[in-house]
Amino acid sequence: MKLFMEPASVALIGVPRRTGMAAWNIMENLLNSGYTGRVYPVNPNADEILGRKCYPSVKDIPETADLAVISTPRSQVARTVKECAEKGIRAITVVTQGFADADEEGKRLQAEIVRIARQGGARIMGPNTFGTSNAFCRFTSAFAPVDLQPVPIGLICQTGLFMAGIPRFPMLGKGIDLGNACDIDFADALEYFEHDPEVKVVLLHMEGTRDGARFMEAAARVSQRKPIVALKTGRGEQSAQAMQSHTGTLTGADQVYHAAFRQCGVIRVSDIDEFHDFTRAFLRVPLMRGSGVGIITIAGAGGIMAIDACEKYGLRLGRPSPETLEKIAFLSPPWQALENPADIWPAIMIARHRIDEVLYTIADAFLADPDIHGIIIVSHAGLLLGAPDIFQRARRFDKPVLCWLYGSGMEQLIDDIEAKGETAVYPNVERAARALSRLREYHGYLRGERR
Amino acid sequence: MKLFMEPASVALIGVPRRTGMAAWNIMENLLNSGYTGRVYPVNPNADEILGRKCYPSVKDIPETADLAVISTPRSQVARTVKECAEKGIRAITVVTQGFADADEEGKRLQAEIVRIARQGGARIMGPNTFGTSNAFCRFTSAFAPVDLQPVPIGLICQTGLFMAGIPRFPMLGKGIDLGNACDIDFADALEYFEHDPEVKVVLLHMEGTRDGARFMEAAARVSQRKPIVALKTGRGEQSAQAMQSHTGTLTGADQVYHAAFRQCGVIRVSDIDEFHDFTRAFLRVPLMRGSGVGIITIAGAGGIMAIDACEKYGLRLGRPSPETLEKIAFLSPPWQALENPADIWPAIMIARHRIDEVLYTIADAFLADPDIHGIIIVSHAGLLLGAPDIFQRARRFDKPVLCWLYGSGMEQLIDDIEAKGETAVYPNVERAARALSRLREYHGYLRGERR
């Protein structure tokens, strides 16, 4: 896997002479990414592409490249794989489509390239793939622009879709598109991330895997070190048919995958919002060591929504001790007792306490309470300008604090709060509670609790 | 309701002398909003506030204002309501907290102000409310900044939270915060929106209502004219307790509300994302007249996710007719047949058709097909730059086209696409399918189908 992820030199076979938009030129994309390794384009019809000397065949390249990336028409792929193996190349990414994702001839060709590679001692990524991307060495074999940012997220997927990224979510520090996964499979990719200090959360997009046992072994090992968040698609009958013609994967019953994920501590998501939500929680706040939630809200209605959300996701309202309630009692107007949820608006509007005094006092008291294992703050984003240290202070307690911040036009402020890395902000309280519940579940898994 | 929503003059009783951040000064907020009606501040301790002559009592104001907004301490509210009624004011908003939302004394005071108002022929909004906002006449009685944008959305809620808006979502053209709803209730607010040409979608945030029968009558009437999208909070036991101390509402069993909403054609949501998602769909695309979905995707994996999502939300893959498939067949490379989902990448990458040719041909063919009632487009946002007229063209068919657009850094492009008002773009395909399903359900309700 290291040759695929961190190649010092790469042969690009089938590079088109076209460049620019709609050329889908891998070399152009790679050079634009800032890759500084050695790049050898192969195209028998060109002497030079993008100012680089072009080779008629992989055999003519003056060294044995770490990685070959093949994007020739499918009819030439088998011959090219053979040449690569003969040249001694050990890592081959086949970008080309039209294999098990297509017709019977494609299936036959896919089996053939696997056989050729095995004989030659090479491994194959793909076919039908964007290949690999690594922001930490500015490498990518994608034919479309990839958002390379050195975030500690490792992505394993079966589509280029995630390589292209999601608005407002830097999705990959390192990405592996398995495509049809004819040889390199999920287990190989997981093993690469297992001991990778640059990756703290692993995201999986999976249509299916052929080797469930090996996947489970690898996933269970990796889960002990870092969370794996998985989007398994193809749940129903209709999508199973479509997958057959996407990556050529036969899917098992969805429940089988579900049970396997649970057993291995893999956190399953049902959509991309959850990738976004859970990854930010895992990267930014501590795990949750119990199910008691403290709610601090600037709006009574927000507290009610927060309770609904906690119940929905298997969490409960923490019961603050008498000592905790005593610490915060002085903030209330006479006719309101602060409890959990702590509706802080009367303390600000009627009792006229400062926002920082109110928020710091309650957050400190709740975080110190043994029955509160995490906090959700519901607030107009603008009010947090009055209590800017709230998340920094919370770090002393090693408990997660997540937020639902509302307020029209507050996008920039919310981005700024997020950028400090001390909390994650969600667009509603359901998503904050859902993320908190996963911090709880993963902690339970690590502790050996049944899920 | 007209006096609350479109007052030509307003008495503001209990305006503080403080101004600026954290003063929560209703008059300051109102003047900043650009309101051009007559404003009469009442404060016995000031001659002038923000350059406006101040009156010692509502009795001293030289006219009978359309609306009085009371934000005095709670102990003075009953006397002030009496003075307003005696002055002949017919609409009174009580902003002050500490009534049924608080202690026994608060409950008693709330009953008293209702009695006083009834005797004097006045109606009360609140207490414990932001009151009303109307972007079309720049009016607001909120004590915090409200995002007034003349969008055709009418909001009825029991919290100021929604008045303050949600990032990236202009939430209200007109807003009514019922607060504790001691007098003016959901039915009154719904009736106001029923014939309001400036409002095309009604959003409800409801903790509970005392008069279920009247609510249902009003909701069923309004639903015939425009969609009502409702967030009913307080689902469980714990939140019912919290609601008691928020707006003093006794909640009924959640299932009772659920059944009532169904019967009246009210579209229930479970979180704010759904407010956002469904409102944009209702405002921008036609209703869906059947359950068959056409999927056009640039990524095979996206097609599979789209099928999963359609199944989840009670939609199905449309079955294109042989004629439809014939119209699009020329786009494929030999080894792939285009069907539904239409995975268009091979047509672009292998067969090298132009993006606009591919997208326009398939969209036109799908939209003309009798078994396809709506379309989901899954694409990298950037590719739509190559087919900019796709949504404009779709309007000929009177069928909804919704999108999931991905791609890192594509926020501005997506905002630009949205701003044209011809489609709604979602951050994942689940949310696009969910919105489509509500366009289908609401159409079924209007047609008298059982839901």
Q: Nearest 5°: CA angle at B369, between B368 and B370? A: 115
pLDDT band at B83 (very low <50, low <70, confident <90, very high): very high
pLDDT at position A235: 79
What is the residue whose two structure tokens read 């193809």? A234
Radius of gyration of chain B (CA): 26
Q: Which of A393, A339, A51 is nearest to B245 (CA)?
A: A339
Residue B392: exposure state from Cβ atoms within 10 A (0-12, 13-18, ≥19) = exposed
What is the C-alpha separation between A434 and B389, in angstroms, rounded?
Answer: 39
What is the C-alpha separation between B7 and B4, in angstroms, rounded?
Answer: 6
Report whether pLDDT(B231) > 80: yes
Classify A424 as helix, strand or coil: coil
Phi/psi of residue A110, nearest 5 degrees = -65, -45
H or E stretch covering B358: helix B355-368
| Chain A contact present for B233, CB below 8 A | yes
- Chain B residues in contact with A268 by the CB 8 A cut-off are none
Residue A272 tokens read as: 């991309």
B246/A343 CB distance under 8 A = yes
Residue of A nearest to B340 (CA): A242
pLDDT at position A168: 85
Residue of A nearest to B378 (CA): A161
* Residues A113, A74 contacting (CB under 8 angstroms): no
Name the A residues in 268-327 with CB < 8 Å from any B CB: 270-273, 299-305, 307-309, 311-312, 316-317
Spans in chain A with pLDDT lower than 50:
451
Question: Which spans in A94-181 are helix H?
Answer: 104-120
What is the tens place of the pLDDT at every residue in B367-424?
A: 999 999 999 999 999 999 999 999 999 999 999 999 999 999 999 999 999 999 999 9
A402 CB-near residues (< 8 Å, 6+ apart): A281, A285, A374, A375, A376, A377, A423, A424, A425, A426, A432, A435, A436
- Chain A residues in contact with B313 by the CB 8 A cut-off are none
pLDDT at position B403: 98
pLDDT at position B450: 58
What is the C-alpha separation between A328 and A330, in angstroms, rounded?
Answer: 6
pLDDT at position B251: 57
For the segment B261-282, the average pLDDT, to the nearest whole number, is 96
What is the C-alpha separation between B77 and B64, in angstroms, rounded?
Answer: 19
Report whether pLDDT(B245) > 90: no
H or E stretch covering B277: helix B272-284
pLDDT band at B365 (very low <50, low <70, confident <90, very high): very high
pLDDT at position A251: 57
pLDDT at position B87: 97
What is the tens place of the pLDDT at every residue in B123-163?
A: 999 999 999 999 999 999 999 888 899 999 999 999 989 98
Pick B241 or A420 by higher pLDDT: A420
- Chain A residues in contact with B429 by the CB 8 A cut-off are 271
- Chain A residues in contact with B22 by the CB 8 A cut-off are 355, 386
**Residue of B239, B340, B344 to mutate when probing chain A, most A C-beta within 10 A:** B239
Is the ipTM reported for this complex over the cut 0.95? no
What is the C-alpha separation between A113 and A413, in angstroms, rounded?
Answer: 52
CB pairs under 8 A between A and B: 229
For the segment B164-173, the average pLDDT, to the nearest whole number, is 87
Q: Which residues pair with B67 in a beta bridge?
A: B10, B91
Portion of chain B with pLDDT greater than 70, in percent: 97
For the segment B212-233, the average pLDDT, to the nearest whole number, is 96
Phi-psi region of B448 (alpha: psi -120 to 50; beta: other; left: phi over 0): left
Residue B227 tokens read as: 């969609």
Residue of B nearest to A99 (CA): B335
pLDDT at position B214: 96
B236/A307 CB distance under 8 A = yes
What is the C-alpha separation between B407 and B421, in angstroms, rounded?
Answer: 21
For the segment B100-105, the average pLDDT, to the nearest whole number, is 92
pLDDT at position B410: 93
Nearest by CB to residue A238, choosing from B22, B171, B307, is B307
The minimum CA-CA distance between B331 and chain A, rounded to whole Å, is 15
pLDDT at position B33: 95
Q: Which residues pair with A174 in a beta bridge?
A: A134, A154
A246/B301 CB distance under 8 A = yes
